[in-house]
Chains A and B, each alone.
Chain A
């Protein structure tokens, strides 16, 4: 912990020690246009990739041969090139670190000389409300660099749409953030106060930037050579309940000023499991009072208390004051990851996990699978899948599984031609609970020439198949449908594994 903090300070000092920069116009040479060719994964036939797609974004130099941009700019990229303002050359770049949960990535370049004499931009702090900012980048509408002025509207804690499940601090500005701006710096005077990354599609000039504390946390996390990710929390609280005087009295809340929020659920995977219980009232986090609205004072604003937890590194201790059965206690939670990520965010791995047996394609249920039903999947996808994605832990036994396994496709052959996919979520294989694609794969691999029984969640109609016939069909079926490889079982490991896989 001490080591990490020290290293954080060193990085900051290095960044802050950059030459004094002029107005944003003078900083344009440090801002890059990033072009990528990416191939999204196919979540029905996971051994296939979708058609290549070309897109562009922005990024900026932070020193030591590193360019900071958004994760979504370079996600699933098979080719990345960068181009500096005023320079006709495009050079190849590669991902050094990527944090999908915070939508940030660090790029390196093949040609080290390309960044010679490029000035590193320095990071500032959280800007004040109504203070002016300048967004710089390469938005759609032209090839040249673009600068847009705006003011800071709001500092809040909201969802980062790249994974669509991770909530973090963000800043809303009223300068337009358009496709292509992503990953570009947002300046206040000479300093970067955020990274442009998303916008409200139904509002004019409502852009969002990733604030410096989130960026700094990401940079610090990468210092040990791998990105470990933002720690998970897994605690659900209900805002405002303790605003009720009778309720506050019932639970013996100490004063009107310090009421806090009540814990309604502690997930099994929560790092606070065993430390914080349902019914506890969270009064403070790291010494800061938590209001009945679940917010704390932060940089002159009020933001969700989780924002403070999010800024911790894995292994950090986070102190809470809680009220339990009328008595105040101090407890410490060790921040760490824990959420079975496949239940929530989009997957940006080399391939989704899958296995194909007898023409039956098994893969993990993920947000990416749900998006097969389009952006409106929350109303259009089958109800069972929507429910399992939204409230997975409401269903008994889900918490005991590493992931939910679904049948994404049936490659028809003689051995499986009579099956009908009704509920696609596999519950059991020959009576054993299916806990992951890997577990299912192992069971299938060990299958003798006898019966294969697959039970599905919320379906009374099991599949009873001949193990021998399915095994015998494997070779011809895989050949006919071009299945190769026939399985892929690498753990997603959230972001770390991806980093190692892509980084050069």
Chain B
């Protein structure tokens, strides 16, 4: 979500955990920054993207060219923000002191962590580029330099200080990762700006909250790079799959059998995708993970940052790693070891933007059905959380649990007016409950249901759609094919797969 797309980056401040510390503008520590050398490591990336039109998912908007920074992290390997290269049709890299533009391609992108690795297209190389090593996680209070590349020629340097570390979504509906809040100079946005300290990359600025830059930490970057550059296949970040709340009330602590001064987190919810779903229960009290103890606020002590939420510990693990949870149930100590599952926002009921491939949709008699997701919500503009119908944003906010079968909410987004759907033109943003009496949890499932026999009435076959709120509409199958031809022509729907068809 953070700077993920030009049309979705606004939402960061809404989702982000407000955790900005005091507005202290600190004098730059010149000594800490005197050895900053990075000019030969920073590239200007020019990215041409073809983003689906939020309101006409079969079409793309005008191609959009934008520029931002990339950093050489290995030989012919460039790190950048994944959301800025999603749906890229052409990428070029240019060194700051060079006129030559090198065509690039995506090696791999983890859209959940919002990190991507690029390489030169076949036949090209980044000659003369210097590798910038990735540093360690830095202590809170460290002075850093933000390096942005505003255009092809000029680097911008801003002295900042890492004020805080908090856990925030790296992208809309995506994974939560630790991020630095950087104080010193407000910015309207960050586009893959580099955070450098002592000639090492220590963060990647991917967004802002209340005009304060926010940067993914070096630990997350190293995790991503080590994973991708290893010989094994990419494992990704581990997911815990449960919601935890610190128990503040002394009375509640007493009831749960938590000794005074002891740390504990109450298990408040467990997703069906959680590897611990078979051994953990609501109201269990988490006391530690592996050898790490939970303090009374639900924190553990990080070597660089001090007390931070225990989730930091889980994020440092890979999918496929085992962790052991230690917890109390009804006063008795228990433990449970499970293999972490990879976090996928696509598991959620309302996933984020589709970063690759086709945006799922289906036209049936001019009725445009979509899956409720980031692509759909982005159609409501920058202030989509305010402007979208509350029923839709409500599902995103309160009913967005992941599921093993990736159940989606389908929406009749709007009606492409035609004779077949006369009278239905004003229907929009309706949540589909069933088609021909069967519930559908994906566009594919909707197609399957529609292919089955519909409702027979007086010798005609109809498809009957029921929506939340009680609205019911019907459309005849008989004239569907002719209607689709008209609609394709009128609305320039060039992809036949956008339309429902009973044929193969």
Contacts and interface: CB of A to CB of B under 8 A. Distances in A.
B472 A264 contact: yes
Interface stretch (B1-9, B26-34, B199-207, B244-252): B244-252
Interface in B437-479: 457-458, 460, 462, 468-476, 479
A282 B134 CA distance: 70
Nearest to A467: B251
Interface of A: 236, 238-247, 249-250, 262-265, 278-279, 292, 379-380, 383-384, 386-387, 390-391, 394, 418-420, 451, 458, 460-461, 463-466, 469
Contacts of A463: 249, 252
A418 B458 CA distance: 66
B421 A460 contact: no
B251 A387 contact: no
B245 A265 contact: no
A388 to B, nearest CB: 9
B386 interface: yes
Nearest to B253: A464
B142 interface: no
A180 B255 CA distance: 60
B422 A245 contact: yes
Contacts of B268: 460-461
B interface majority secondary structure: mixed
A451 B251 CA distance: 8
Contacts of A460: 243, 245, 268-269, 282
B423 A247 contact: yes
B394 A387 contact: yes
B390 A383 contact: yes
A245 B391 CA distance: 30
B63 interface: no
Contacts of A465: 249, 251-252
Given A246-B474, A461-B268, A241 B423 contact: yes
B387 interface: yes
A263 B472 CA distance: 9
B424 A264 contact: no
Contact of A243 (B422, B458, B462): B422
B231 interface: no
Nearest to A391: B391
Contacts of A250: 457, 460, 462, 474
Interface string B246-281: 001111100100000000001011000000000000
B249 A247 contact: no
Given A250-B457, A265-B470, A466-B251, A243 B423 contact: yes
Given A246-B420, A460-B269, A238 B386 contact: no
A238 B471 contact: yes
21 contacts: A238-B427, A240-B423, A240-B424, A241-B424, A243-B423, A244-B424, A246-B420, A262-B472, A383-B385, A383-B393, A383-B394, A383-B397, A384-B398, A394-B468, A418-B249, A418-B250, A451-B255, A458-B398, A460-B269, A460-B282, A465-B252
Given A244-B422, A249-B458, A469 B390 contact: no
Contacts of B245: 460-461
Contacts of B424: 240-241, 244
Interface in B14-43: none
